[in-house]
């Protein structure tokens, strides 16, 4: 139950003022010993806590998912393995796992999605990071259009989808190699561009550092860069921008 649910129940008489007061007196986090779940994050930032699955012990991961389901009714996990998905499925058969993005989520049905975010990739090898961004934004209630394989080595492919990209409230540009896609898009749109360097490329790409340096040195205006392979961070930021625009 979140703060809005509590206030609505007080308004309709299903909860007393004293019960509501007790709810708001609780700590803004829940201490599980090995983890401190930020149960007030949605109240502060608009989005609930997300689980970074990689490296977590099975018992810890399962307990965190169970508690977040109890408090939020849904949960988004990133960088999950197939084995972790099987673990969660044992308790939550409705959980959805995408082996490409490594997103492991339990989502409320029929969620409204607002606005428009365009998630673009330079090549198909960048799709795993792009899907992490796209599915993160979708989980948080945003409409997403995917524009994949439109890198600068074939600029006509990007220009063929330019109408869609220009309609978006925010663009996520995902690229490895030299990372030029973000600069090109930045010069073609009047909305924020979030650049995501990926670790795709040959030796001198230095596992994404080359793309990162290109993106943070872009001459195009309105381009901001997240860390290498950080699709989640890009998707979260795009969701904030899109929803701020939709709220007016």
8 A C-beta contact, residue 106 and residue 133: no
Q: Is 78 helix (H, G, I), strand (E, B) or coil?
A: strand
Is residue 10 scored above 90 in pLDDT? no
Q: Where are the domains of the chain?
A: 3-106, 114-247
Where does residue 110 rank: exposed (0-12), middle (13-18), buried (19+ CB within 10 A)? Answer: exposed
Question: Which residues have CB under 8 Å from 129's CB, separation 6+?
Answer: 174, 196, 198, 229, 230, 231
Per-residue pLDDT band for 60 (boundaries 50, 70, 90) equals very high
Is residue 109 scored above 90 in pLDDT? no
Where does residue 156 rank: exposed (0-12), middle (13-18), buried (19+ CB within 10 A)? Answer: exposed
- Chain-centroid distance of CA 201 in Å reads 24
The confidence score (pLDDT) of residue 8 equals: 86
Fold observed for domain 114-247: Rossmann fold (3.40.50)
Is residue 27 scored above 90 in pLDDT? no
Global pTM value: 0.86
Per-residue pLDDT of 151-203, as tens digits, reads 998 999 999 999 999 999 999 999 999 999 999 999 999 999 999 999 999 99
């Amino acid at each position: 139950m979140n703060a809005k649910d509590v206030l609505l129940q007080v308004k309709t008489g299903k909860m007393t003022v004293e019960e509501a007061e007790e709810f708001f007196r609780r700590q803004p986090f829940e201490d599980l010993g090995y983890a401190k779940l930020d149960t007030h994050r949605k109240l502060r930032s608009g989005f609930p806590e997300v689980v970074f699955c990689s490296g977590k012990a099975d018992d810890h991961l399962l307990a965190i998912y169970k508690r977040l389901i109890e408090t939020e009714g849904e949960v988004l996990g990133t960088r999950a393995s197939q084995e972790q998905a099987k673990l969660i499925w044992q308790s939550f058969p409705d959980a959805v796992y995408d082996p490409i993005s490594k997103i492991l989520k339990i989502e409320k049905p029929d969620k409204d999605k607002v606005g428009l975010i365009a998630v673009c990739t330079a090549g198909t090898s960048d799709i795993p990071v792009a899907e992490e961004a796209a599915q993160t934004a979708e989980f948080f209630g945003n409409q997403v259009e995917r524009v994949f394989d439109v890198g600068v080595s074939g600029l006509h492919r990007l220009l063929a989808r330019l109408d869609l990209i220009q309609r978006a409230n925010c663009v996520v540009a995902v690229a490895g190699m030299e990372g030029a896609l973000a600069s090109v898009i930045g010069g073609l749109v009047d909305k924020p561009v979030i650049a995501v360097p990926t670790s795709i490329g040959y030796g001198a790409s230095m596992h994404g550092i080359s793309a990162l340096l290109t993106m943070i040195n872009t001459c195009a205006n309105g381009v901001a860069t997240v860390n290498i392979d950080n699709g989640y961070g890009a998707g979260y930021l795009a969701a904030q921008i899109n929803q701020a625009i939709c709220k007016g």
